[in-house]
A and B are shown apart, each in its own frame.
Chain A
Amino acid sequence: MSILLEVKNVSKTFKTGSSEVLVLKNVSFDVQESEAICLLGASGSGKSTLLQIMGTLDRPTSGEVVFDSLNLIDMDDDSLSRFRNEKMGFVFQFHHLIHELTALENVILPCLLVGEDRAEAEKKAQNWFEYLGIQDRMLHYPDQLSGGELQRVSIARALIKNPSILLADEPTGNLDSENSKKVQQLFFQLQKQLGLTLIVVTHDIEFARQFSKVYRVQDGHVLLESQRLT
């Protein structure tokens, strides 16, 4: 396996009024291709900030994030947007679907943005809806779907462009235990079947135990907590 994503000496400082809070302190670690890693930590530990920096949603105060030999920190807004569209998929604690669009329309948005044929995009989306078992909910609006269904739709949206890496921030944090387990299983199923690189932020220890590699984010540092040989 080769290195897909490198986090090099990343620090992040937030300014609150006159004081500064150092959330990440010189963090460095690698993510291998097709690896499933978990960032575990207490609330406010900086794990979501780290995920956002790795996902190019935020910029570090210092340090580098390198994806497949490409330094993401040097890229401008246009290039980063294109990069996110092609290479990265995101799933958040809340589904963040657009209320005025149907589930299908939400899922095909990343394809339509880059000028893909709508019929082809819908066909791809339909396959994902079938794979995720929600094919009968395609034309429903977000407020007509359950929490589990909403999260599945947001997973379909994250995967429609066949990204190299899927980043999830507390993806089960807003689900009941039954749906939470189903979504957890889904993540590992996807990772195995598609060879997807998976980075998940959670504070759920049971969920974290299922990952081959777990990093603990604590006091601004990232420490390898456990590694299971696969």
Chain B
Amino acid sequence: MSKVKQFSDLKFFLWLSAKLLFNKKFLFGGSGPLSLFGLILGVAALVPSQSVMRGFEHTLQKAVIDMTGDIQIQRRGALINSWDDFEKEVRELEPSIQKMMRFADMEAVVASQGKVSGVLVKGMDMQEAAETLSFQQRFLEGGLPKDKNEIAVGTGLAKKLSLSLGHKIYVAVPLSTPFESTSFKRRAEEFTVVGILDMGKNDWNERLVISHIKDLQNLALIGDRVSGGFIRIADSHQAVNISAKMAETLEPRYYINNWYNLNRNVLEAAGLEKIVIFFVVFLIVVMAAFNISSTLYIFIRSRYKDIAILKTLGFNSKAIKSIFVLQGFVIGTVGTMGGFIVGIFLSYGFMWLQATVDIIPGAVYHIDRIDIDLSIVDFIVIYVMTLAACMLASYYPAKKGSELLIVDGMKKD
């Protein structure tokens, strides 16, 4: 049979299926609308569950890349003396690097208004940071440090120390002394808070502060030396492979990490949860499909006379079966589309709820809010699985209908 003929057959059977299905009896009476509503609810539950889980992964990935780039390299147990030489070495090793920037980091203690907190100070060149990282868009108040001894803090730390723009804080860094291993010196300077930002991860918001690299180098007395570099590549999903390749040459002198490894446990757990949640919520669709099956069974029984007359016109059993299986397809399509619309509303409702009520415990999930990610892949998977469930559900009633003898069908009222 040619493809054109098959398509015209399918078109005809779809047309007839829809015509027979959407009558007043099915749409406004009995269990027809109820079973359709059940399917819509099932699909509607799947959409936000998948968009939130995918959004969780995406939010976490974006937060890490925004703040630290795709790949992070840090010298083990010492500082890098010459950034230019180091950058040249790394770029020769991996030509696909798009951007690379230096950073220095140091454990410190901040104090303000009688409160103290342990922090990690990240010193960056703000021009390089603007070109390489994307955390500028994460500022809730103020912006990047521009002048001497300016500092930006995360929302958690700002809350903890009751900081707002213009507040003065003391930053104290420990300096090791080569002469006495049991003690260290400390140096402290006053910094002005010029920015408060949401770094995307709860522990960063509470512990990370950003200063200009020169200020940190001066405070810690490390000269021009740096701790390591942040790297951006064209395709973030290649970060694991590229960092592994770099590690072959640079380790053990350098510690190399990437955005995925930084959150491997959480991302792997989220990936598994996404699959489990899909199948658990999909059970609602399966139950709705059973409901559709019983509705179609009753519906087909009420159409025995029509089935008989179609057979007298030349429809064979296979054609009759096709008509009613396609009704499963039509119900599945209508139910899925309705479910998508409701599901998208629910997803945006979740976003609204996050903005209104603090529903994500940051300490547990590492992030304070989740951006939903409505992916076409998820929609296609939900559509295909729902259609398969509905068509399977309609197969048994369709088969029973197709086996009807013409003379028996003619006798039915």
Contacts and interface: CB of A to CB of B under 8 A. Distances in A.
A182 interface: no
A81 B311 CA distance: 7
Among A55, A105, A112, the most chain B Cβ lie within 10 Å of the Cβ of A112
Contact of B313 (A77, A78, A105, A110): A110
A52 B197 CA distance: 83
B391 to A, nearest CB: 21
B319 A113 contact: yes
Contact of A57 (B5, B312, B316, B318): B312
Interface residues of A, number: 27
Contacts of A78: 316, 318
Among A77, A82, A100, A110, the most chain B Cβ lie within 10 Å of the Cβ of A100
A21 interface: no
A64 B210 CA distance: 96
B19 interface: yes
Nearest to B313: A110
Contacts of A114: 314
Given A100-B19, A100-B23, A112-B12, A81 B314 contact: yes
A82 B311 CA distance: 10
A115 B315 CA distance: 12
A113 B315 CA distance: 7
A82 B23 contact: no
A108 B16 CA distance: 12
B406 A96 contact: no
A85 B313 contact: yes
Nearest to B1: A115
Contacts of A42: none
A57 B407 contact: yes
Contact of B9 (A85, A96, A115): A115
A90 interface: yes
Contacts of A52: 406-407
Given A96-B305, A99-B23, A101-B19, A113 B406 contact: no
A86 B405 CA distance: 20
Given A100-B19, A101-B19, A115-B8, A81 B407 contact: no
B164 interface: no
Interface residues of B, number: 27
A115 B5 contact: yes
A19 to B, nearest CB: 19
A156 B308 CA distance: 18
Nearest to B15: A112
Contact of A100 (B20, B305, B311): B20
Given A96-B305, A98-B309, A110 B406 contact: no
A157 interface: yes
A77 B406 contact: no
A84 interface: yes
Contacts of B319: 81, 113
A125 to B, nearest CB: 13
Interface string B259-292: 0000000000000000000000000000000000
A58 B318 CA distance: 18
A57 B406 contact: yes
Interface string A61-92: 00000000000000001101110111000101
Given A100-B19, A115-B5, A115-B8, A58 B406 contact: yes
B317 A77 contact: yes
Contacts of A57: 311-312, 406-407, 410
Interface string B1-29: 00001001100100010011011000000
A145 B112 CA distance: 89
A109 interface: yes
Contacts of A112: 12
A110 B314 CA distance: 7
B215 interface: no
Contacts of B314: 81-82, 84-86, 110, 113-114
B306 interface: yes
A113 B318 CA distance: 12
A127 B8 CA distance: 24
A77 B20 contact: no
Given A84-B312, A85-B313, A113 B12 contact: yes
Contacts of A115: 5, 8-9, 12
Given A58-B405, A98-B306, A112-B12, A81 B23 contact: no
A55 B308 CA distance: 13
Among B318, B405, B410, the most chain A Cβ lie within 10 Å of the Cβ of B410
Nearest to B312: A90
Nearest to B26: A100
Given A58-B406, A113-B12, A115-B5, A77 B316 contact: yes
Interface in A180-216: none
A102 to B, nearest CB: 10
Nearest to A53: B407
Given A78-B318, A115-B5, A115-B8, A84 B19 contact: no
A227 B16 CA distance: 45
A55 B406 CA distance: 11
B119 to A, nearest CB: 72
Interface in B129-155: none
Given A96-B305, A99-B23, 7 more contacts: A57-B407, A96-B308, A98-B310, A100-B22, A110-B313, A115-B8, A115-B9
Interface of B: 5, 8-9, 12, 16, 19-20, 22-23, 305-306, 308-319, 405-407, 410
Interface of A: 52, 55, 57-58, 77-78, 80-82, 84-86, 90, 92, 96, 98-101, 105, 109-110, 112-115, 157
13 contacts: A52-B406, A57-B311, A57-B406, A80-B316, A85-B313, A90-B312, A90-B313, A100-B19, A109-B313, A110-B314, A113-B12, A115-B8, A115-B9
